Amino acid sequence: MAQTSPAPAASRETALRNAQRAAQVILDAKGSDVLLLDLKDVTDMTDFFVIASGTSDTHVRSTAQRVEDELRKEGLRVHHEEGLQQGRWALLDFVDFVVHIFHPTMRQFYQLERLWGDAREVPVGQPGAL
């Protein structure tokens, strides 16, 4: 049975930098309550969550599309996406990080921050925050 080794620190740093870039794109698109969670000690499904709110279904959709477009220009592709058509909760899975953009009522209902409360919050835009 082949063993896999943990991801090297450089890839976590890259994942953090990319997640922070996604958060900045959301802020530039007037997204609100942007939060970056480090999931390293909580789960192995991804390294980071970016959680944010839009002001309406249209804003959620357009912000998610903007994140996807801007990161594609930087060579990053979405592995999986959900909810873009409805605009209530858009999920963009970049494997090393996952972006969640919520309509405010959906964010309050699902409370991902509480669900992943054991995760460490990372300041958005602060380099070397690992």
Strands 48-53 and 97-102: parallel
Domain definitions of the chain by residue range? 9-122
Q: Are 103 and 87 in contact (CB under 8 A)?
A: yes
Each residue's pLDDT tens digit, 45-58 = 999 999 999 999 99
Question: What pLDDT is recorded for position 4?
Answer: 42
Q: Which sign does the torsion angle of CA 43, 48, 124, 61 carry?
A: negative
Among the listed residues 58, 50, 52, the one whose alpha carbon sits nearest the alpha carbon of residue 84: 58
| pLDDT (0 to 100) of residue 125 | 63
Q: Are strands 97-102 and 89-93 parallel, antiparallel or unpaired?
A: antiparallel
Instruction: Report the run of H or E that residue 35 belongs to, with start and end.
Output: strand 32-38
pTM of the model: 0.86
Give the max Cα distance, the chain. 49
Residue with tokens 């939060």: 35
* Cβ pair 49, 113 in contact under 8 A: no
Fold of domain 9-122: Beta Polymerase; domain 2 (3.30.460)
As a whole number of angstroms, the distance between CA 37 and CA 21 comes to: 14
Kindly give the parts of the chain with pLDDT less than 50.
1-10, 126-130
What's the pLDDT score for residue 128? 44
Instruction: In whole angstroms, give the CA distance from residue 9 to residue 63.
Output: 30
pLDDT at 25: 97
What does the pLDDT read at residue 129?
46
